[in-house]
Structure 1
Amino acid sequence: MGKVNFLNSELIHKNAENSFLLHGNKIKELLPEADIQHVGSSAIPNCMTKGDLDIQVRVHAEQFSKAVELLSNLYERNDESVKTATFRAFKDDTSNPPLGIQLTVIDSEFDFFWKFRDVLLANYKYRDAYDKLKNEYEDKSMDAYREAKDIFFQRLMETPEFKKYDK
């Protein structure tokens, strides 16, 4: 896999927000009961980002199969990602910015993307540490960055700030 590069500009974040509104409305038409969240670094002002857009679509368990079917009609399935009975990933690499969609069952093991966003929004020290990690991996292997990012988020899940979202 290629190298990773990060950006931090108001224009990138504004473009992602506009794209979120567009895709969020499309998804809401298909899945009116879904909770649609702008997640990922582009949802956090002044955070470094790869320049992509991540959307989490949260549904109840009984809606999941239908949601997979409907989202598959709009977006490409991301077969490189994990696939479980409560999680599916979709993508649109032709979108501007490139789009990733994480479909999760509410309160399932993968229903954490919105929590990461909220913890990073509320805690400068974690946001700063995440940006520092990104600086360390600038122009390096995407796979190596993803491994380091996974470790960062595993540690974040152990913090009191993250655990307050657990029931």
Structure 2
Amino acid sequence: MQLFSAEQYQPDLQQRFTTLRDSLLHLLPYARIEHVGSSAVPGAVSKGDLDVAVVVLLAQHAATVQTLLALGYTEQADTLRTEALCMLNAGAEMPEHALQIVAARSEFEDFMRFRDALLAEPALVQQYNAVKQAASHLPAEAYRAAKSAFIESVLQRLPASTEQGHSA
């Protein structure tokens, strides 16, 4: 798996995020749209993909997923799916990106908590980069497992939080 330096992919993905956020807010004015993943963190290496969290109230979650599916998004196979989390991939006619539909105040707001931890502590970005680079030659499942272990270790050190204040 090829990893790109931040300089290689972040400027383009930041612009794509801004355009996508504006489009999603027009469609889902009740949602909070958050840039998450490595592309949201200066200096982070990445596969060059764009990840976006769409945060909605639990009561709006299922309807939001259905709205997005009707627009051509597809549900990501072989990933965790609950009433508070649904991973969607952009349709073939859209620029490549993934949406994580997250219920507000759920455990799945960890996408933002992890991003914010990396933004607050540049040394963590370097550690995360090292984990990803060391695992980049592994099969996709092992690569994801290495990243997940690091993410969990960071999240376990953070104080519990019920409100997210950062907006990308």
Between the aligned partners of 1:93 and 1:154, the Cα distance in structure 2 is: 30
Q: Is the 8 A contact 2:5 2:45 kept in 1?
A: yes
Structure 2: gaps (5+ residues): 164-168
Deviation at 1:80, TM superposition (A): 2.3
Trace 1:1-167 onto structure 2 (pairs within 5 A): 4-74=1-71, 75-92=73-90, 94=92, 95-96=94-95, 98-159=96-157, 162-163=158-159, 165-166=161-162
User: One-letter code of the match for 1:8?
Assistant: S
* RMSD, matched Cα: 1.6
**TM-score, normalization by structure 2:** 0.89
SS of the residue 2:86 aligns to: strand
Whole-angstrom CA distance in 2 between matches of 1:93 and 1:152:
30
Aligned length: 161
Q: Secondary structure at the match of 2:149?
A: helix
Please list the CA deviations of residues 56-84 of structure 1 after superposition, one character each: whole Å capped at 9, or x if unmatched: 00001111121111111231111222110
Q: Shift of residue 11 of structure 1?
A: 4.2
Counterpart CA distance in 2 for 1:93 and 1:11 is: 24
Distance (whole Å) between structure 1 residues aligned to residue 31 and residue 49 of structure 2:
22
Show structure 1 runs of 5+ residues with no match: none
> Could you tell me how far apart the structure 2 residues matched to 1:163 and 1:9 are?
28
How far did residue 92 of structure 1 move? 2.1
TM-score (norm 1): 0.89
3-state SS of the aligned residue for 1:88?
Answer: strand
Shift of 1:164: 5.3
